[in-house]
């Protein structure tokens, strides 16, 4: 009987010593207190991510930069401009319907043959986006670019004047255009800075940072 009492006493002392060491060091109790509290984890909205600024946003995971929108010709030029960055599979593209309200154009020609001939001349000169309008009140006019802002259209007018294209005008035009966004996943600060340097060469184009869009 005495032996059993002594054994129980030693066992209780050992248990008390373990609990004291656990609470005073890095035991399970301390580790639990140091764990991240899941109820305080918060997912940032795209607006909150953008508000962090380029340097902090670039350090987050699952962040995408959207650059655009671009028409077909400008899309190819933009992809060529960022090719030296070596982004590889981090770059994807997304088609979007973009409401546009301003365009640059040559007034209607007498007939389609005359308009087609002028478009051929313009494309030979490097204006790949030129095309003949087939219907409506502007039938047989030539579109030289569609823009979301008047400033974008006026910038195009200046560029055309420098290239020797005369007679072009800018005016309002409501329609929806199918354009492309260039999407870069987890962009580094140097990439963000480079895209913002390139953007002035593409009137009407914007750079946005936010959560990556989930696949449909």
Which pLDDT does position 9 carry in this prediction? 44
C-beta of residue 191 within 8 angstroms of C-beta of residue 81: no
Closest CA to 50 of 192, 177, 198: 192
Which residue stretches of the chain have pLDDT < 50? 4-11, 13, 15-16, 18-47, 49, 58
Q: CA-based Rg of the chain, rounded to a whole angstrom?
A: 31
Provide the token pair at 157. Answer: 């007018």
pLDDT tens-digit series, residues 98-154: 766 789 999 999 999 999 999 999 999 989 889 999 888 889 999 998 887 888 899
Which pLDDT does position 53 carry in this prediction? 55
Residue 98 CA to residue 71 CA, distance in Å, equals 10
Provide the token pair at 109. Answer: 């020609």
Residue 57 CA to residue 60 CA, distance in Å, equals 5
Residue 197 CA to residue 201 CA, distance in Å, equals 9
What are the φ and ψ backbone dihedral angles of 49, each rounded to 5 degrees?
-65, -45
Q: Taking the CA atoms of 144, 147, 153 and 158 in sequence, report the sign of the dihedral they define.
A: negative
SS3 per-residue string spanning 144-171: EEEECCHHHHHHHHHHHHHCCCCCCEEE
Enter the pTM of the model: 0.42
Which pLDDT does position 211 carry in this prediction? 84
């Amino acid at each position: 009987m005495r032996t059993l009492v002594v054994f129980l006493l030693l066992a209780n002392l050992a248990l008390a010593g373990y609990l004291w060491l656990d609470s005073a060091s890095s035991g399970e109790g301390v580790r639990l207190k140091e764990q991240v509290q899941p109820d305080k984890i918060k997912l940032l909205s795209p607006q909150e991510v953008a508000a962090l600024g380029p340097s902090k946003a670039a350090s987050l995971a699952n962040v995408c930069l959207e650059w655009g929108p671009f028409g077909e010709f400008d899309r190819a030029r933009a992809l060529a401009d960022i090719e030296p960055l070596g982004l590889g599979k981090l770059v994807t593209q997304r088609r979007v319907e973009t409401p546009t309200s301003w365009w640059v154009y040559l007034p209607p020609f007498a007939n389609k043959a005359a308009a087609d001939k002028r478009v051929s001349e313009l494309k030979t000169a490097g204006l790949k986006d030129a095309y003949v309008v087939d219907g409506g009140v502007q039938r047989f006019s030539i579109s030289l670019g569609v823009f979301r802002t008047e400033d974008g259209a006026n910038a195009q007018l200046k560029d055309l004047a420098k290239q020797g294209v005369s007679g072009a005008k800018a005016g309002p035009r409501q329609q929806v255009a199918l354009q492309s966004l260039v999407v870069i996943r987890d962009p580094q600060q140097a990439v963000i800075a480079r895209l913002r340097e390139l953007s002035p060469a593409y009137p009407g184009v914007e750079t946005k940072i936010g959560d990556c869009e989930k696949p449909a």
